[in-house]
Amino acid sequence: MNKHLKNFLLRGLIFGGFGPIILSIVFFSIELSGTELELGGGEVLLAIFSTYVLAFVQAGASVFNQIEEWPLTKSLLCHFSLLFAVYSLTYILNSWIPFEPLVLLIFFLVFAAVYFTIWLTVYFSVKAHTKRLNSRLK
């Protein structure tokens, strides 16, 4: 088995359980706000399963940044595309957003803005840290 696939699966298995934990915190917070949640067993099962898959893929997808043979743009686009697809499917399957073109466009724009803001913040932080370490070595 490809080492990157193994790494993807291992990371997903380790961190996948965080999805249902976060889901339960969201449900609990909604309940604390006084809003009634009326969910059937199937809806709860779908929410738990889909958030597990979401967390699994989110954690596993970090392997794209570890593939040294790939250019940065390729790993970035693969990571972004996979995350956008799994987030979109999770939100649509759970009826958290409707399956409408305008809503999906807005979701895409917000997702892309948040994704690239976080990515640029991490990129420049790592670059600055690396520069400091290199200057200490000289």
Interval 15-45: pLDDT, tens: 777 778 887 888 888 888 888 778 778 888 8
Chain-centroid distance of CA 52 in Å reads: 11
In a domain, 137, yes or no: no
> Which among 87, 89, 84 is positioned nearest to 116, based on CA atoms?
84
Place of tokens 């073109």: 101
In a domain, 3, yes or no: yes
Q: In this predicted structure, what is the pLDDT of residue 88?
A: 96
Place of tokens 């059937």: 40
Structural domain span for residue 56: 1-75
In a domain, 106, yes or no: no
Q: Count structural domains, the chain.
A: 1
In a domain, 23, yes or no: yes
Distances from the Cα of 50 to the Cα of 20, 63, 81, 82, 126, angstroms: 9, 21, 18, 15, 32
In a domain, 47, yes or no: yes
pLDDT level of residue 1 (50, 70, 90 thresholds): low
Interval 68-117: pLDDT, tens: 888 989 999 999 999 999 999 999 998 889 999 999 999 999 999 999 99
Percent of the chain scoring above 70 in pLDDT: 99
- Look at 96 and 12; give whichever has higher pLDDT: 96
Question: Which helix (H) or strand (E) segment is 44 a member of?
Answer: helix 41-60
In a domain, 30, yes or no: yes
In a domain, 134, yes or no: no
